[in-house]
Amino acid sequence: MMSKDKVMCADTGMFLIRVALGLVFVSHGWSKIQMMDGTVSFFASLGLATFVAYLVSWVELLGGIAMILGVWTKWAGILLAIVMAGAIWYVTGAKGFMGGGGYEYTLTLLLVSLGVAFAGPGGFTVHKLAGNK
């Protein structure tokens, strides 16, 4: 059995990870939505359909919000990881791991998203803070 201090530390750690991850995705998703014409053009230059640009933008925005709030983190994490796998496949993968737009950043976001999906949101979530279990 874990002590109350260890649980509090684990919950705090997961909360900080979720907030950092969520803020990155919210900002990128919101940016894509605000400049949707450019987003659609960029996705088209990669050979991707318009609906993919919309789908990715909204997954990033809503998935980021879900991470921050600690709701639906399993599904949000999986969907965000899929988006990052696509980003590596279509954009950053050919540039190598480091520097010049390499895939180290997108891989980190992919793995952290999956980590939250597998580990769960921790104790500091909107549901738990509202008194729900």
pLDDT in tens, 58-116: 999 999 999 999 999 999 999 999 999 999 999 998 898 987 888 999 999 999 999 99
Tokens of 114: 């999956």
Strand residues in 74-125 grouped as ranges (E)? none
**112 vs 126: which has the higher pLDDT:** 112
For residue range 13-30, what is the model confidence (pLDDT) as tens digits?
A: 999 999 999 999 999 999
pTM of the complete model: 0.91
Given this model, what pLDDT does residue 113 score? 98
Q: How far is CA 1 from CA 4, 14, 121, in A?
A: 9, 19, 19
Query: What's the token pair of residue 13?
Result: 């750690």
Residue found by looking up tokens 């919309």 in the block:
54
Q: How far is CA 2 from the centre of its chain?
A: 29
Cα 97 from Cα 111, distance rounded (Å): 14
Per-residue pLDDT for 1 more than 90? no
Taking Cα atoms as reference points, which of 68, 55, 67 lies closest to residue 29?
A: 55
Instruction: Return the pLDDT at 98.
Output: 87
Tell me what pLDDT residue 2 has. 63
Q: What is the pLDDT of residues 47-67, one digit of tens each?
A: 999 999 999 999 999 999 999
